[in-house]
Chains A and B, each alone.
Chain A
C-alpha cells in the first residue's frame, strides 16, 4: 500500500501510515499501563518509536521522494539517539 519502492506517495498511503502510527502508539501505551519493563521490552518500545519517526519523515515530510543527501538526515537523527539510548539502557540493565 505504501509503495515505497515506486515512490508513489498519496493521501491514501499517508492515511494508512496515520492509522499505523495510532496503533503503534496504543501498543506503547499498553506496555506502560501493564507496567512491563526490562531491556527487551524497552528496546522493543524504542524500536516502535524509531519506526514511527521514520514513517513520519518518509511520508508526512515527503522525504520518500527526495534522493541524495536530504533523504537521510531524519533517518540518521533517529538512528544515532536510538543507538545511544539503547546503549544506555543496556548498560543500566
Chain B
C-alpha cells in the first residue's frame, strides 16, 4: 500500500472509533469540560462586552496564528504517523511523531512567550474578568498540550522499540486521537478568545 492510498483511522466501516475506547470516553469528558468553559466565557462576556472587546485587542494575534498553524500541522503529522504504522513502517511512524512533538513544542514556546509578556506587565487572574478567562482557558489547554506531547513521546518510544506493527497499532491510534482532541479544542479557543468581538 502506498502512502497516497493508505487509510487513516479504521481500515473499514466500524461501529467504534480507532484506538482504545477508554480514551474516547476520556476525550468526550474533556470536550464536555472545555465546552462548558466556552459557553461560560461567552455568557460572562455578555455582562462586560466593552471590557472583553478592549482587552482582547491587547492579545498577540500573530502568536495565536502561529500556534494555530503549529497545532494543525502537528495533527497532520500525527495522521501521517498513523498511516506509516498501518503500512508497518515503525521508523517512519517515529519520525512523524517526533515532528508532531516538535510542533507541539513550538506551541509551548510561543504560548510561554505570551504568558511572560502578560506577567511582565503585571497581568494576572485577578486583573479583570477577561484576563481571568483568557489565562484560565488557555493555561488549561496548555496543560493538555503538555500531556498530549507526553503521550505521543510514549507512543514514539514504543514504536521505536518495535512495539507496533501494521496489524497491532491500537496504541498509536489512541495517542493520535488524544492529540487531535487537543487540536480540536484550540480551533474553537482561537477565534473565541482572540478574534470574536
Q: A residues engaging B (CB < 8 A)? A: 7, 9-12, 14-15, 18, 21-22, 25-26, 28-29, 31-33, 35, 37, 42, 45-46, 48-50, 52-53, 56-57, 59-70, 73-74, 77-78, 80-81, 84-85, 88-89, 91-92
Contacts and interface: CB of A to CB of B under 8 A. Distances in A.
Contacts of B32: 77
A14 to B, nearest CB: 5
A88 B8 contact: no
Given A7-B13, A18-B72, A53 B28 contact: no
Given A42-B197, A59-B8, A89-B196, A66 B14 contact: yes
Interface of B: 3-10, 12-18, 24, 28, 31-32, 35, 38-39, 42-43, 45-46, 49, 53, 57, 61, 64-65, 68-69, 72-73, 75-76, 78-80, 83, 173, 176-177, 180-181, 183-184, 187-188, 190-192, 194-197
Interface of B is mostly: helix
A68 B14 CA distance: 9
A56 B5 CA distance: 19
Given A45-B196, A53-B187, A65-B9, 15 more contacts: A11-B80, A14-B76, A29-B65, A32-B61, A52-B187, A56-B187, A57-B184, A61-B17, A64-B9, A70-B15, A73-B31, A81-B35, A81-B39, A85-B192, A91-B46
B73 to A, nearest CB: 8
Contacts of B176: 61
Given A29-B65, A48-B191, A92 B49 contact: yes
A53 B184 contact: yes
Interface of A is mostly: helix
A45 B46 CA distance: 18
A60 B5 contact: no
Contacts of A64: 9
Given A61-B180, A81-B35, A67 B14 contact: yes
Contact of A28 (B6, B83, B191): B191
A60 B8 contact: yes
Contact of B46 (A28, A46, A80, A92): A92
A73 B46 CA distance: 28
B46 A62 contact: no
Nearest to A62: B9
Contacts of B28: 73, 77
Contact of B79 (A14, A29, A74): A14
